[in-house]
Structure 1
Amino acid sequence: MTSPAFTLTHADALARFPEQLAVVAQRTIGYRKAGDKHLRTMPIVMLHGIGSGAASWVRQMETLGDTHQVLAWDAPGYGKSRHVEAASPVASDYADALSDWLDALAIERCVLVGHSLGAIVAGSFASKQAARVAGLLLLSPAGGYGAASAHVRENKRDARLAMLAELGPQGLAEKRSVNMVSGGASEDAREWVRWNMARIDPVGYAQATHLLANADLASDLTHFKGRVAVAVGAEDPITPPAACEPIARAANVSLQVIPGAGHAGYIEAPVRYNALIEAFSAQCKGATQ
């Protein structure tokens, strides 16, 4: 199911929510934000997946920024964000960067929304700093291969790294973006996925590939006792509903399946996903009052 026409072109949205930089603890993090006039509300912080960036969330900023402070980062190694130090990082390396960024912006507590690989970072952060997470919303979460055998982890990692080396960011965008949305997605949504993916930093993407091989989101979720929701598009071939079920079980919640949506559902069906994020944020607010 396609979404209604966007009220802003992507170029207009990028101009409305320009890239900004935060520097703390000798670390630079790039991000975009909306809703500065809503500083008294619970912030919504959004973490992108392995082939994306902060700009992918502009449709959420456009709508949710009317009632919330909304922030989206470029993960370490993406955009202008400094890489993590380790060549083969683990989730806590990125969670530490997230903590530094939130500190720099004076955000003590937030609703954390993680998409795909961003769900891994969100889960790691929540497992270590639960008091700072009012709620954890995981969209098409990647579980990671940390619980798999060394052979499986290495094969998954090396296949993705080989594809990156062969195709480069632009070729990767052309090849991989096709699987990011459903068959009913608009050309506008497809182009936006390609635009974001074509701008990845190969070094940052390689580090994120190691993160994916090393991570175990389900294990991290067993250490977080706060409010969690897990949702996935019914037409997601990358993290299909069957793959997301164990993540939902680890969080002790029911998996929400969004009809007609693919992996990047928040891009192709922003109205539906914005409503999901808004409803979850309202639940978190009610639970913390």
Structure 2
Amino acid sequence: MAEAAGLYYELHGPPDGEPLLLSPGLGGSAHYWDANLAALAARYRVILYDHRGTGRSDRALPADTTIGTMAGDVIALLDAIGIEKCHFIGHALGGMIGLALALRAPARLSKLIVVNGWAKLDPFTALCFDTRLALLRDSGPEAYVRAQPIFLYPAHWASAFFDELEKDMAQQLASFPPVKTIERRIAALRAYDPGSDLQRIDHPVLVITTSDDLLVPWQAGRALAQALPNATRCQQFGGGHAASRVEPEEFHDRVLPWLAGESWDDDE
């Protein structure tokens, strides 16, 4: 087990490859990227990590945690493992961390990919958070975990891979964080509103949305792309909120060429 700055991390891919850090969403676990690791690590030095308060990282999450402090964790991790600059792919909350990193320490970031993220929290997404918190508080962690696939995956995929999801849910329950940790992470998401600061991000940014996302409306991602001065595209494709896991080959077909320098825009 590798640990730095209180964070569990893993390194994959060629030691001399360009660094690429993957940041998961609300669940916080590096396991989210399992379906993508082989394709990305074939070319890049991939850095996986568990967010503070989740998974195998330090479980102590301060009450005043913000998206900015989560970006600070990324900086501390990069410092500890001796990486000066990296590409960054963030899913949902992880994408917000990438935006905060671009604002807080722009020299540490090369290219940024935000998957199913937003510029401003959509009221429908806020409603989903309310529902999930109510399940957690009123019915407990098992109800929260077992409801999670409803928000993350298309029904056809969840049905086809239900045995795999059952194993995932059992693992999540075995390492479930305290309720206050989930509350603090959702509170940080609710509070994050970079507003006009997004105009200061001049890094190349790829914003990916999915038309069948049941948690974050694709229009929220489009608004993010429009708010950024150097967002190259806002691509819609299927796969629900967890599209990189549901449709990994399609995800790689978009991400890898863009990271390699191909430039195109198909946002309508």
Do they superpose with TM above 0.5?
Answer: yes
Equivalenced residue count is 255
Structure 1: 5+ residue runs without aligned partners? 1-19, 285-289
Task: Please report how far the alpha carbon of residue 39 of structure 1 lies from its aligned counterpart in structure 2 after TM superposition.
Answer: 2.3
Q: 1:175 aligns with which of 131, 134, 147?
A: 147
Alpha carbons of structure 1 residues 234 and 215: separation in structure 2 relative to 1, 3 Å: same
Residue 246 (structure 1) aligned with residue 220 (structure 2): no
- Is it true that 1:275 corresponds to 2:253 in the alignment? yes
Deviation string, structure 1 residues 8-65 (Cα, Å, up to 9, x no partner)? xxxxxxxxxxxx33233xxx10123311xx2222111111111351011122212221
* CA gap 1:237/1:34 in 2 versus in 1, 3 angstroms: same
Distance 1:196 1:267 in 2: 17
The offset of 1:108, in angstroms, is: 0.8
Partner Cα distance (2:7, 2:54) in 1: 9
Return the alpha-carbon distance in structure 1 between the equivalents of residues 97 and 199 of structure 2.
Answer: 15
Name the counterpart of 2:161: 187
Letter in 2 for 1:255: C
Code of the aligned partner of 2:106: A
Q: Does 1:69 align with 2:45?
A: yes
Match of 1:173, as an amino acid?
Answer: V
Counterpart CA distance in 2 for 1:210 and 1:250 is 23
Match of 2:241 in 1: 263
- The one-letter code of the counterpart of 1:240 is P
CA offset at residue 117 of structure 1? Answer: 0.8
Q: Does 1:118 align with 2:94?
A: yes
Q: Are residues 1:21 and 2:2 paired?
A: yes
Q: Percent identity?
A: 22
Cα 1:219–1:76 shift into 2, 3 Å:
farther
Look up the SS of the partner of 1:39 in the other structure: coil
Shift of 1:283: 1.8
Which residue identity does 1:32 align to in structure 2?
E
Q: Deviations over 1:141-190 (max 9, x none)?
A: 14454x99xxx999887654333222333221211212211233241664
1:234 maps onto 2:234 in alignment: no
Alignment of 1:147-186 (within 5 A): 160-185=132-157, 186=160
Asked whether the 8 Å contact 1:91–1:215 carries over to 2, the reply is yes
**Root mean square deviation, CA, Å:** 2.8
Return closer, same or farther for 1:78/1:233 CA change in 2, 3 Å cut-off: same
- The answer for the alignment partner of 2:12 in structure 1 is 34
SS at match of 2:221: helix
Q: TM-score, normalised by structure 1?
A: 0.78
Question: After superposition, what is the alpha-carbon deviation per residue over 1:246-278, rounded to whole angstroms, capped at 9, x for unaligned?
Answer: 1111114331111x2210001111111123221
- Give the whole-Å Cα distance in 1 for the aligned partners of 2:68 and 2:218: 26
Q: Tell whether the 8 Å contact from 2:65 to 2:188 is kept in structure 1 after alignment.
A: yes
The superposition leaves residues 78-107 of structure 1 with CA deviations (integer Å, 9 ceiling, x where unpaired) of: 112225653142211111111101111111
Task: Report if the CA contact (8 A) 2:120-2:220 is conserved.
Answer: no
